[in-house]
Each structure stands twice: as structure tokens, then as C-alpha cells.
Amino acid sequence: MDQGLKGALGLNGPEACLAYYRDWAANYDSGFAAEMDYMLPAHVAAAFMGTGAGGPVLDVGAGTGLLAEALRGMGFRAGIDAVDFSAEMLERAAEKRIYDHLIRADITRPLDLPRRYVGIVSSGTFTAGHVGPEALPQLLAVSLEGAQFALSINRRVWSDRGFDRALEDLSAARRIGDLHLIEVEIYGAAAARIDADHAADRALIALFRAG
């Protein structure tokens, strides 16, 4: 389990990500998420629900569907679409029957999707070895004016990858508004026994609206 998380955070490039998640998909929920007491999807879901926003929602880097499961568990009934780079992770998500559409795509490139989303959510995608702020314009391009965003951003990459500057620039250009940050724990107490190096990791949930 320990190597699974450390390996994921050390990924470098899209091909490495594809290969890693191809192997990790089968036991992602029962291994990593369960053993590390992975709380981040529930935190993002609660933050989004707290805004009162509706759907349709795009779950970015949806993986096996943990964030959408949390939303459904909190009573969210509007449509949710999933987008992820890994076909194998989307296959696991499909088994849960919680998404309207499953989309395999690289979110760092323009998305071949209509501009229809009222909500954009993401848990665990903006982190070390994964996606940087270059994806933000692609997500804004498929969101309606006023769409509510709730994106987790790992504290380890907040400044190093330039998320702080990117959000400031988007705010200054009025492409986003009402930016609010919520700091949360990523893992529960069980994580300390599995991976002491990452058990105390924290994330910022960036809440903002599309301009």
C-alpha cells in the first residue's frame, strides 16, 4: 500500500500515469482508499454541497468514482459526468452506476465537450506527479458562466506548481470570482500506520465560480 501512494506521487508524464493506474485500478478502493482512510473525496463533496450548487456536474480525474459516491451519499441527485485519463479507472467507476457519462480525456488539453456544466468538482487530481494549473482553462471552457468549482489541491504543490499564482491571475482577469479556500486533512488516523511520510498531508479546496 505504502508503495502505491509513493509511486503515484512520483509519476512523471502521461504515459507513466496511464501505466500506473492501469495496474492500480483493480484494488484502488479496497487498498489505498480503505487502508489510508482517504477522506478527501468526502471533504470536496461536502464543500460543493455547502454552496447549494446544482448540476450537471463534471467530476474531473474521477478515478473509481469516490467523489461522486460521496455526493450521492449526501443527497445530490443531479447528473454527474466523469472524466479521467485512465480507461481502467473509468471501468471501475462504471460498475458503480453513478455517472451519466464516462469520458476518457487528458484534461490538460482542450476537451471535446459542450459548454454545459453548472458544477466542476475534483478530488486528488491536482497533486504531486499529476495535473498542474494548466488544466484550469480547459475546465473553464466547458463550464457555464457562474458554474461552481470545488477542486482539491495538495498543499505540497500549491505554490511549487503555481496554483496560487494561476488562481490570482484568473481572478484578476475576472475569469473566476468568489474564490474561497478551505484547508482539510487528506487522510484519517489509519494512514499513520501505513505511510508516515504522507499521513499528515493536507489539501486546499478551492471554491470559486466561473466568470
* 3-class SS of residue 42: helix
pLDDT attached to residue 15? 57
Handedness of CA 104, 106, 111, 117 (dihedral sign): positive
d(CA 135, CA 157) in angstroms, rounded, equals: 14
pLDDT attached to residue 94? 95
d(CA 130, CA 109) in angstroms, rounded, equals: 14
d(CA 71, CA 48) in angstroms, rounded, equals: 9
pLDDT attached to residue 51? 98
pLDDT by 10s per residue, the chain, length 211: 333 444 444 444 455 555 555 455 555 555 566 677 789 999 999 999 999 999 999 999 999 999 999 999 999 999 999 999 888 889 989 999 999 999 999 999 999 999 999 999 999 899 866 789 999 999 999 999 999 999 999 998 999 899 999 999 999 999 999 999 999 999 888 776 666 777 778 999 999 999 9
pLDDT attached to residue 118? 98
Largest interatomic CA distance in the chain: 45
Q: What angle is formed at CA 143 by the lines to CA 139 and CA 149, rounded to 5 degrees?
A: 70
Residue 124: all three cell numbers together: 486528488
Domain ranges for the chain, please list them. 2-210
Strand partners, 81: 58, 101
pLDDT attached to residue 1? 37
Q: Which residues contact 95 (CB under 8 A, 6 or more apart)?
A: none
pLDDT attached to residue 9? 46
DSSP symbols for 48-117 = HHHHT--S-EEEET-TTSHHHHHHHHTT--S-EEEEES-HHHHHHHHHTT--SEEEE--TTS-----S-E
d(CA 93, CA 62) in angstroms, rounded, equals: 8
pTM across the whole model = 0.86
Q: What is the CATH number that goes with domain 2-210?
A: 3.40.50.150
